[in-house]
Amino acid sequence: MRDETPVAGIHSVRAALKHGADGVREIWLERSRRDRRLGDLAELAKSAGVKIRQMDRDALDGVAEGASHQGAIAWVSVPAARSERDLLALLETLDVPPFLLLLDEIQDPHNLGACLRTADAAGVHAVVAPKDNAVGLTPVVCKVASGAAETLPYIQVTNLARTMDALKERGIWLIGTAGESDATLFATDLTGSLGLVMGSEGSGLRRLTRARCDALVKLPMCGKVESLNVSVAAGVCLFEALRQRQAR
């Protein structure tokens, strides 16, 4: 039996039903809540053949564990990660410049879930990470990702450095983040075929990963702290890239 995790919130449940209904076992809707959007979710679920349960608010509150469920929760199967072969096949189908996020040994499931959610919002085509010494798609990751784990390809590779070489051969420019860099994120061209590379929570980019980056950039820091949480830093980088790409 596959692990399941609750995905809470109207937007997240809608995304799960629209883009990954095969992995949705059932949805819970708050019995006493009068909201047209819940009716829309019920129609989506019926069309997809997904079971609907009308539940009391206390039941939803208990499952959501403090998250804002808005009267809707979907029970979804934890998706399987994809392979390097899937990544290369995906790149062949794109008719726009690739936009990737590479995560080097991220181990905190909350960080990975937040990165997936932000990457999906920023229009990233896939997130790439190593199989070893990194968290995979766990129920906690999927819960924090709020539906993004079902909609955004998560690629786990045996050798991240080798995968980076393969991406570079395909003309994808790899930009890594490093606090000691002289170049800043906002002064760097992030348009075109791009892979943003983020290091782990503790030690940042590994030596071989760093060596394969075409350029290193830093985030301008104006306060006393020297670094940001990796999921926050990823969000800053991804949306700066999105801003530039939309302007272009």
Binding residues: 199, 219, 228
Asked if 229 contacts 237 with a C-beta cutoff of 8 angstroms, the reply is no
Joined tokens for residue 177: 């983040």
Asked if 147 contacts 15 with a C-beta cutoff of 8 angstroms, the reply is yes
Binding site, annotated residues for S-adenosyl-L-methionine? 199, 219, 228
| Backbone φ, ψ for residue 239 (5° rounding) | -80, -25
**Residue of 39, 38, 48 lying closest to 16 (CA atoms):** 48
C-alpha distance from residue 8 to each of 11, 117, 151 (Å):
8, 13, 15
User: From CA 56, how far away is CA 61, in angstroms rounded?
Assistant: 9
Which strand (E) or helix (H) includes residue 197? strand 194-198
> Strand 154-157's sheet: what is its strand order?
154-157, 126-130, 99-103, 194-198, 173-177, 215-217
User: From CA 16, how far away is CA 25, in angstroms rounded?
Assistant: 11
DSSP symbol at 30:
E
> Strand 4-8's sheet: what is its strand order?
4-8, 72-77, 24-30, 51-55
